[in-house]
Structure 1
Amino acid sequence: MCKGLSSLPSTCLEKAKGMRVKLSHLAETHQKLKLQDVKTLQDLETVLNNKSGLQAFRVFLRSEFSEENLEFWLACEDYRVSPSNQQKTMASSICSKFINPDAPQEVNLDAETREALLRVIDSPCADTFNKAQQRIFSLMAKDSFPRFLRSHHCMEAIKAF
C-alpha cells in the first residue's frame, strides 16, 4: 500500500475500495451497452427509420438546439415522395424555412450547395434537395449522432427496441 494512503482513516480506505468496485462494475456495464449499441443502433439510417429511435434522436437534437438538421432531412424525405404538382409549393416552403439566409430554422450548408439549390428552386424536380439533404445527413452522422450514442437519450431508445 502507498505510504500516503496508509495515513488515511480506515473508513476512507473502505469507501475508496467500494467506489473502485462500483466504478469497475460501471465500466463493465458501459462496455456491454456499447456492444449493444453497435448491434441495435448500427447507424444513423437505422435510427431515422425507427419510430422510437427517431423520437429519441429528435429529443436529443432539441436539447442541443440543432433539431433543424433533422427537420430539414425529414422535410426532404416528404418532398421526395410528394406528387409533382405539389413540389414547387413544398420546395418554396423548405427554402423559406431552412435554406434562405434568414430562415427561422436555417441549416448549415456550404455556400456552393446553398447557391446551387437557390438557382433551381423555381423549377424543382424530385431530386432538387438530394445534395443538400445528403450534406445535412453527413453532418448529423459525423457530428450529432456520435454524441447521441453516448447520451441518455440513446439509452432510452435502446430500452424501447
Structure 2
Amino acid sequence: MCRTLAAFPTTCLERAKEFKTRLGIFLHKSELGSDTGSLGKFDWGSKHSKESKSFSEDVLGWKESFDLLLSSKNGVAAFHTFLKTEFSEENLEFWLACEEFKKIRSAAKLSSRAQRIFDEFIRSEAPKEVNIDHETRELTRTNLQAATATCFDVAQGKTRTLMEKDSYPRFLKSSAYQDLASQASAATTFTSSCSPAEPSHT
C-alpha cells in the first residue's frame, strides 16, 4: 500500500510498469543479444519494489562513471541503442567482442576468433571498422601472428577512451537518457514510499 497516495496518484505497480515501458522504448530493437538489454529477468510486480528500486539506482549510476555504465548489461544495451542513432555502434561492439575474446582458453579458438575480430573491426575497409590510428592497426596485425588474450588490448583501450571522451558525454546529455534518469529518480523516490508487504490496519 502506498503511504503517499496524494503525491503519487498511481499505484506502485502502475508506476513500475510505466518505468518498464519507458525503458523498453529506450532499448527498442537493441541487437546485442538476448541477455544484454533483456527485461525478462526483472520482475516489476508490486511484490518486488526492492528490485525496482535497485534497477532505478542502476540507471542513475550510469552517469556516475563510464565504468559503471559498461558494467551494467542494461547500461550497455542503452548505450548501444544510443550509438546506433549516431551510426557509431561499431566502437562498443568491438569493445564487447574483445571482452568476450579474453575469456577464451583454447589457443586454436583464440587464433581463429582473433582473425575474425580483426577482419570485422580492424582491417582497412572492414565492415565495422573502428576509428584507430594506422600504428595501432599495424601493431594489432602483428599481434595476430601469435594470438594471445591481450593482442587487442591497445586497440580496445583506444576505442574505449574515444567512447568515454566523445560518445559517453553525449549519451548522458541525450533526451532519451535524461528522460529515463528522471523516471528512475522518480521511481526510486516512489518505491521508498511504498511498502508492499505492509498490512492494512483498521
1:141-156 maps to which residues of 2 (within 5 A)?
Answer: 141-155=164-178
In the alignment, which of 56, 72, 83 is matched to residue 61 of structure 1? Answer: 83
| Alpha-carbon shift at residue 157 of structure 1 (Å) | 4.9
CA contact (8 A) 1:69 1:136 kept: yes
- Read off the aligned partner of 1:131 and give its amino acid letter: V
Identity %: 41
CA contact (8 A) 1:52 1:157 kept: no
In the alignment, which of 117, 121, 130 is matched to residue 98 of structure 1? Answer: 121
- Read off the aligned partner of 2:131 and give its amino acid letter: N
Map of 2:100 onto structure 1: 78
| Distance change in 2, residues 1:160/1:92 (3 Å) | farther
| Alpha-carbon shift at residue 61 of structure 1 (Å) | 0.1
Q: Which moved more, 1:103-112 or 1:40-49?
A: 40-49
In the alignment, which of 139, 144, 148 is matched to residue 162 of structure 2? Answer: 139
| Alpha-carbon shift at residue 152 of structure 1 (Å) | 2.4
- Read off the aligned partner of 2:110 and give its amino acid letter: Q
2:153 corresponds to 1:130: yes
Map of 1:51 onto structure 2: 73
Map of 2:39 onto structure 1: none
- Read off the aligned partner of 1:82 and give its amino acid letter: I
CA contact (8 A) 1:84 1:125 kept: no
Partners in 2 of 1:48 and 1:130 — Cα distance?
16
Structure 1 residue runs of 5 or longer lacking an equivalent are: 1-35
In the alignment, which of 78, 83, 88 is matched to residue 111 of structure 2? Answer: 88
Structure 2 residue runs of 5 or longer lacking an equivalent are: 1-56, 186-202
Question: What SS class does the counterpart of residue 121 from structure 1 fall into?
Answer: helix
Question: What SS class does the counterpart of residue 122 from structure 1 fall into?
Answer: helix
CA contact (8 A) 1:53 1:157 kept: no
Question: What SS class does the counterpart of residue 177 from structure 2 fall into?
Answer: helix
Partners in 1 of 2:92 and 2:116 — Cα distance?
16
Which stretches of structure 1, 4 residues or more, deviate above 6 A after TM superposition? none
Query: Higher relative contact order at CA 8 Å, sep ≥6: structure 1 or structure 2?
Result: 2
State the Cα deviation string for residues 33-73 of structure 1 (Å, max 9, x = none). xxx9xx62211111111122111100000000000000000
- Read off the aligned partner of 2:132 and give its amino acid letter: L
Partners in 1 of 2:149 and 2:119 — Cα distance?
18
CA RMSD of aligned residues (A): 2.2
1:31-46 maps to which residues of 2 (within 5 A)?
Answer: 40=61, 41-46=63-68
- Structure label with greater radius of gyration: 1
Q: Which moved more, 1:97-106 or 1:116-125?
A: 116-125
For these two proteins, the number of residue pairs brought into alignment is: 126
| Alpha-carbon shift at residue 108 of structure 1 (Å) | 0.5
